[in-house]
Amino acid sequence: MKRALVIGGVILLGAVFWFNQQAAGQFVFDRAVKSAVGRDASAELPDGIHAYLCGSGSPLPDADRAGPCIAVLAGKDAFVFDAGSGAIRKLGRMGFPMEKLAAGFLTHLHSDHLDGLGELMLQAWMAGGRDTPLPVYGPPGTEQVLAGFMQAYAIDREYRIAHHGPAVARPGGFGGVARILDPSKGNIAWQANGVTIRVIAVDHRPVDHSYAYRIEYGGRALVISGDTKRSDELAAFAKGADVMFHEALNPAMVGQIGSALAAHGNADGAKIMADIPDYHASPEEAAEVAQAAGVKALVLYHLVPAPPIALVGKAFLGKAEDQFEGDLRLGNDGMLVSLPTRGEAVEFDDLL
């Protein structure tokens, strides 16, 4: 009898705990839905340029860093520069206003910069409510990349139209339309609603066309390096900008990884590690370019190898901090960099 009572008590306690857990979980969910769903978090941001770092990583797999991606809200319009793997999901979590997306831009056609393009076009269509295809600006070949993604998503397109109806899944809003940029014919890539986006070619050979972009709005400016070696042209292009996002690869660390791969008999991996430093910039070189440009802040992204903890980040930077007088930061997914038009400040926030 006593034993039955004890067992009954334990079961009752378990049930109470389980019930409360469910109730507590439901409470948390209710609050999250109320505060986040359907709300435009970007409406609270001041007028200006806001850069969402949606992907600070590289082709090397990393649980914390999506592939290269920087989304920019400038005034009323938003743009996405590169769409690395996993980046578009991060954008959703950061409260990026997909319905304000006016265009996508590609820096170059290496796969790590575009393998999230299918997700970007899908979100622009369904979450962004588009009824025309998303314009995607990029180098020659962008049309081939878009056509491939659209073919891969063609079956999904039919399913969504059939399920939600053409009033919601507007058939004309599916996919993207390529806009080929040729920086030798002038550097203005976009101009509307007070936003000017400029483009120049940078050096990422043997990649034929690799571009850097400069976004200007309300007297503020930010520059995105894309993938490039150390570039004096980029420094000149970035003159007077407030912030520069620059790719960074630490050659000594990549060399160490190569040596370790070779020691384990992975000659192909060692060869790749030996090849990649020659078409990227080191943290020190990025710092020199930012210093020459006179920007207020430098955010390193496309980090190779990605430092897993802050201490390794210090080692990754090497002497870069001595070469740049402004605010130097290692980028991380979720970083928001704001340039309000009401002042000169460069403001940082973390949205993830």
- Contacts with Zn ion by CB under 5 A lie at 110, 112, 227
Contact (CB, 8 A) for 343 and 46: no
**Beta-bridge partners for 335:** 350
Between residues 231 and 338, which has the closer beta carbon with respect to Zn ion?
A: 231
Cis omega before residue 206 (within 30°)? yes
Q: Which of 221, 257, 265, 254 is nearest to 240 (CA)?
A: 221
Between residues 227 and 242, which has the closer beta carbon with respect to Zn ion?
A: 227
Contact (CB, 8 A) for 292 and 255: no
Residue 16 has a CB neighbour count (10 Å cut-off) of 10
**Catalytic hit among 62, 77, 82, 112:** 112
**CB within 8 A of 111, min separation 6: which ones?**
59
Distance of CA 254 to the CA centre of its chain: 23
Q: Looking only at Cα atoms, what is the longest distance across the chain? A: 92
Which DSSP category does 113 fall into?
Answer: G
Between residues 227 and 288, which has the closer beta carbon with respect to Zn ion?
A: 227
Distances (CA, A) of 148 to 49, 126, 152, 153, 240: 32, 19, 6, 9, 39
Reply yes or no on whether 112 is catalytic.
yes
Residue 320 in tokens:
């870069």
Between residues 74 and 253, which has the closer beta carbon with respect to Zn ion?
A: 253
* Residues labelled catalytic: 112
